[in-house]
Amino acid sequence: MKIKILTLFPDMFNGFVGESIIKRAIDNNVVEIEIIDYRTYSNDKHNHVDDTPCGGGAGMVIRCDVIDRAIKANSGDNTYICLMTPQGERYSEAITKELALKDEIMLICGHYEGFDERVRGYVDRELSIGDYVLTGGEIPAMAIADSVIRLLDNAINSESYKDDSYYNGLLEYPQYTRPVEYNGDSVPEVLLSGNHKKINEYRLKESLRKTYLRRPDLLEGRLLSKEEEKFLKEVKDEEDNK
């Protein structure tokens, strides 16, 4: 996969591409990441990419002609173009899985007061990582790229993400490691039993418990297996009797 990121601040991505799992994925040719400074596509002698808003108001607006030139110079027929904007579709694991199937994605980072409205006509999708506003689209672009890369073949072991929160529609079960006992708080005995059937049942039940208590909306409309129905009923009974 190839990921292209259009930004005014390419140096913000130095640590992102140079550390940990992302760096290993790049080194192992799992993904190619290209950071593109769209200031180079300004036709202004001072390399301006923004201008004052028409009709007045605070801040500066990213020009549509600059973004258009940057997109045309760096995209092809198979490039899936995403705009980072708080007005976009709420990002989710389902969208992550969609993007991970693409050959090439482009993530466009805004800044200042946002984009000229006409930029929206140049992209395939608008994405938001939450109901809040950041100073620019660089952090959302990193978050989206990271979430996509970890799903690519050979980026990480698939067993490392298949039980993660949201991957299967539930929150992840509690995790423990040594020491077995600390400050009077102990690892659940079932996890030390070596009985993998019981361990898997415990993890499913506790995953349902976390989801029920923290994100019950994820259970709405979910088609539960018989085992999930059984464990969820047990969870509800246990929580009601606390």
Average pLDDT over residues 83-98: 97
pLDDT the model gives residue 160: 65
Residue 34 has pLDDT above 70, yes or no: yes
Catalytic, out of 63, 140, 150, 209:
150
pLDDT the model gives residue 159: 66
Q: For residue 163, indicate whether it is catalytic.
A: no
Residue 45 has pLDDT above 90, yes or no: no
- Strand 2-7 and strand 104-108: the pairing is parallel
Beta pairing partners, 77: none
pLDDT in tens, 114-127: 999 999 999 999 99
Distance CA 124, CA 96 (A): 15
- CATH architecture type of domain 2-158: 3-Layer(aba) Sandwich (3.40)
33: pLDDT confidence band, cut at 50, 70 and 90? very high
CB 8 within 8 A of CB 49: yes
For the domain made up of 181-240, the CATH class stated in words is: mainly alpha
Q: For residue 113, indicate whether it is catalytic.
A: yes
CB 31 within 8 A of CB 4: no
Average pLDDT over residues 199-227: 96
Helix (H) or strand (E) holding 205: helix 196-214
pLDDT the model gives residue 134: 95
Domains in the chain: boundaries: 2-158, 181-240
pLDDT the model gives residue 112: 84
Residue 228 has pLDDT above 80, yes or no: yes
CB 230 within 8 A of CB 193: no
Average pLDDT over residues 185-213: 97
Q: For residue 153, indicate whether it is catalytic.
A: no
Residue 87 has pLDDT above 90, yes or no: yes
pLDDT in tens, 131-164: 999 999 999 999 999 999 999 999 987 766 766 6
Q: What integer best gives the mean pLDDT of the chain?
A: 95
Q: For residue 11, indicate whether it is catalytic.
A: no
Catalytic, out of 164, 229, 234, 239:
164
Residue 165 has pLDDT above 80, yes or no: no
Cβ neighbour number for residue 180 with a 10 Å cutoff: 11
Burial 30-49 (b: 16+ CB within 10 A, else e): bbebebbbbbebbeeeeeeb
- Strand 181-182 and strand 185-186: the pairing is antiparallel
Catalytic, out of 86, 126, 146, 228:
86
Catalytic, out of 68, 93, 113, 201:
113
